[in-house]
Amino acid sequence: MFFSWKVITEDELVDLHGKVAIVTGGNTGIGYATVEFLAQKGARVYMGSRNQVKAQKAIEEIEAKLQKSGNYDQASIHWLQLDLLDPRSVKEAATKFIAKEKRLDILVNNACHYSVGPYKLNEDGLLDVMVVNHISPFVLTETLLSLLRQTATLEDSDVRIVNVSSAAHTFVATESFVGKENLNKQFGDSLSGYIATCGYSKLANILHIKHLQTRLNAQSTPITCLALHPGTVMTEGASGFLNSVPFLGFFLERFLGPAFFMSWKQGAGTSAFAAAGKAVAEARKSKDEVERRKYEGGYLVPVANISEPSTYANNGRLQRELYETTIEVLGEMGIVF
């Protein structure tokens, strides 16, 4: 490997015994390693996944590794059935979770649409990549918000909401998020067009997290919201993307992949830091207001560094428009909060 990437260590994360977390897309890739990080620190972790067989296999693998290392004290990992292609079922799953658990300390919206186009409209007239990457995580977050708020009132709470975005959000520009047509915007039927369309949905991840932080701050709710770019990680999605490149795909994955892509564990470092980093907890306790708000609505890049997203991601008007359009579209589907 030509590049050396810092690996987040256990000592850089807070103790999570007695805490509850959800990680979507947790049966593989960055999500898998994030579940491992959080369980290792003692959290009860729910692995959000559509496929129970794959989820159970991943859970058994992680538990076996942690037991072997001696770092699996009181933690437990559970499957949370979650189909992000269907926002209605996401609402139902979140409602059932609230009835089951008395607290939720960490929500990591990690799952991502894997394929690199062509993208399709679903029965509700919504683009599948936007449904999986933004609309369903939005539904999950908004439905769970009451439990997250309740947890934030507990003594010594440190509630965090994390959206795993991508540097691909910088590839796109937009002047408006008003109306379904802007929610469904596509950038062409070429490989670069598909990447831009996916990047557009990842822009939505950052706009959502920043608007959410603004809303929570206005209500004096002590919850930290973070978005992040995990880096170039050899996930199933990355492998599929490389193999989608005509003629060169196999060569790119076989020879360039190991040189330029991080492992799952390395790639999950920024997610683990956002979810449980000690530095974030310490900043929240600072008497200095600037330091205290250092991570609020922030954007992280590898490994666990604060950075600036695109000017579009920082645009307050676009943040409000995306929120209002998403609420409107969901209302038409019968999903209300």
Q: Which residues are catalytic?
A: 165
Residue identified by tokens 């409602």 is: 95
Taking residues 306-334, report their average pLDDT. 98
Angle at alpha carbon of residue 154, lines to 149 and 159, rounded to 5°: 50
Q: Give residue 6's pLDDT.
A: 74
Work out the pLDDT band at 1, boundaries 50, 70, 90. very low
CATH of domain 10-332: 3.40.50.720
Q: Give residue 267's pLDDT.
A: 87
Average pLDDT score, the chain: 91
**Domain regions of the chain by residue span:** 10-332
DSSP-derived secondary structure for 77-127: EEEEE--TT-HHHHHHHHHHHHHH-S---EEEE-----S-S---B-TTS-B
Taking residues 33-59, report their average pLDDT. 96
Work out the pLDDT band at 3, boundaries 50, 70, 90. very low
DSSP-derived secondary structure for 193-257: HHHHHHHHHHHHHHHHHHHHHHHHHHTT--EEEEEE---SB--HHHHHHHHHSTTTHHHIIIIIH
- The rounded Cα 159 to chain-centroid distance in angstroms is 15
Q: Give residue 69's pLDDT.
A: 81
DSSP 42: T
Residue identified by tokens 């260590």 is: 9
On the question of pLDDT at 331 being above 70, the answer is: yes
Residue 52 or residue 114, greater confidence: 52
Q: Give residue 263's pLDDT.
A: 81
Measured distance CA(177)–CA(163) in Å, rounded? 19
On the question of pLDDT at 188 being above 70, the answer is: yes
Work out the pLDDT band at 315, boundaries 50, 70, 90. very high
On the question of pLDDT at 266 being above 90, the answer is: no
pLDDT digits (tens, 9 = 90+) for 195-251: 999 999 999 999 999 999 999 999 999 999 999 999 876 555 555 555 555 555 555
pLDDT digits (tens, 9 = 90+) for 124-140: 999 999 999 999 999 99
Q: Give residue 167's pLDDT.
A: 95
